[in-house]
Structure 1
Amino acid sequence: MLSLTESLVDKLNYHGKTYQLDLAFDTVLKFYELLDDDNLEDSEKISVAFEMFMGFTPDDADFAIAVFQKINQYIAKQPYGDEGEPNVDGNGQAVTPQKYYSFTQDAEAIYASFREQYGINLLQERGKLHWDEFKALFAGLGPNTYFQRIVEIRTRDTSKLEGQALNDTLKSQQYYELNENKTEKAREQQFTGFMNTLKAWAQS
């Protein structure tokens, strides 16, 4: 998580030894894309992920598991904690909030919004802009940026709209609809599956 008094995290300590980490924003985004890649087996994803973050695939199973737990906890960490009590449906079951953006599908809108608001060319920042910096800037994108206008359309309440206004909004929501809505719980389950494969690999 970004700190104004401490250096950006780019190293990991394990049993007294320090390892360099690649936590550039594009590396983290590639990792999330890797989790979504149906063309690779989880065992292949493990090797690719280690190469992405650390530049090698370790032989030590305990090390491998500990490292990915630490990396996942770090990149998923939010500055303001959780969002309070979970929402529940009519049956009292917890309802996970729906995601309204995709780093992959909304890549062009995010790129355009960073250029518009910050004057930052994300293509030129690959390998340089730290994940913590990217995450803070991403969270600070204003309501008039291209990306946030798309999010506003996706989250717009249509219950009180009618006529042409309703028709136009539904068309816009359909146009900008995500190909695949990912929830936070789905992301957690996805990573859990990845970790289970990693543990199975470690015990083999």
Structure 2
Amino acid sequence: MRLNDPLVTSFAFEGKEYAIDLSFDNVLDVFDYLNDKTLRDYEKAEICLALLLGDQSFDKAITIDLWNHVYESFIHIESKQPIEYDRKGNPMPVKEDENKNFIDLDKDAEYIFASFQQAYGMNLYREQRKLHWHEFQSLLNGLPSDTIMQRIIQIRMWKPSKGESTEYKQSMRDLQKIYALDDEEPEEVD
């Protein structure tokens, strides 16, 4: 995202111009279809393109390529950690948790809603069809630390350390169980 670029409302692909609806709620619908295990990949591509580009027929030969372009260019959320190097210039190993997701747009929906309301005075239901996906992502990433969503992320990221009381550690483990994604069990480390 660049602040001097306009929000994407259209794009060109193989010489043809397409209007695209990247409102955040529309993109969340796309994610729902992408996670639908009953659909084949080609069906997902067709449905997602119809959601984003409107009901129009696409040449079957370009459907997958068009979908891949749309996904990679406008929707994909990249959560790469910067590469750190040792003194000799060799890349340092990446810890397992550094690429772990600490937020789920579906499971955390009520916390995201409450956090946007608290931080920005923004009712996400009223912003449907208005708030662009890139705006939504930026606001989500910039939530202040005093919001419920940021607190939950801190709980999910917590690792026990020396000097913390047994009661505190147990309290944090209990909170991690409550807010766990994918029924993950927190580590048992003292």
TM-score when normalising by structure 1: 0.75
- The corresponding residue for 2:167 is 164
2:23 touches 2:133 (CA, 8 Å); kept in 1? yes
Shift of 1:49: 0.9
Structure 2 counterpart of 1:145, from 128, 133, 147: 147
Name the Cα RMSD after superposition. 2.5
Determine if the alignment matches structure 1 residue 63 to structure 2 residue 65: no
> Residue 39 of structure 1: CA displacement?
3.5
Partner residue in 2 for 1:76: 76
- Please identify which structure carries the higher helix content: 1
Moved more, 116-125 or 80-89: 80-89
Distance of 1:149 and 1:33 partners within structure 2: 26
Please state if 1:178 is matched with 2:177.
no
Q: What is the aligned partner in structure 2 of residue 194 from structure 1? A: none
Aligned ranges 1:1-204 → 2 under 5 Å: 1=1, 3-56=2-55, 58-74=57-73, 75-76=75-76, 83-84=82-83, 87-88=93-94, 97-160=99-162, 161-179=164-182
Residues 11 and 20 in structure 1, CA contact (< 8 A), matched pair in contact too: yes
Displacement, 1:29? 1.6
Number of matched pairs: 175
Query: What is the TM-score of this pair, normalised by structure 2?
Result: 0.80
Select the structure with the greater relative contact order (CA < 8 A; seq sep ≥ 6). Answer: 1
Aligned to 2:156, the other structure's residue is in SS state helix
| Whole-Å separation in 2 of the counterparts to 1:86 and 1:38 | 36
Identity between Structure 1 and Structure 2 (%): 32
1:110 deviates by 0.4
Q: Cα gap change, 1:45/1:125 in structure 2, threshold over 3 Å: closer, same or farther? A: same
**Equivalent-residue separation in structure 1 for 2:77 and 2:153 (angstroms):** 22
Q: What are the ranges of 5 or more consecutive residues in structure 1 without an aligned counterpart?
A: 182-204
Q: How far does residue 170 in structure 1 lie from its aligned partner after superposition?
A: 0.6
Distance across 1 between alignment mates of 2:36 and 2:77: 23
Give yes or no for contact 1:47–1:57 (8 Å, CA) kept in 2.
no
Distance 1:103 1:77, change over 3 A: closer
Distance 2:180 2:97 in 1: 20
CA-CA distance at 1:81 after TM superposition:
7.3
> 1:65: Cα distance to partner?
2.7
2:99 alignment partner, SS class: coil
Deviation at 1:136, TM superposition (A): 0.9
Q: Structure 1's 82 and 155: CA in aligned 2 closer, same or farther, altered over 3 A?
A: closer
Post-superposition, which runs of at least 4 consecutive aligned residues in structure 1 deviate over 4 A?
none
Structure 2: where are the runs of 5+ without partners? Answer: 84-90, 185-190
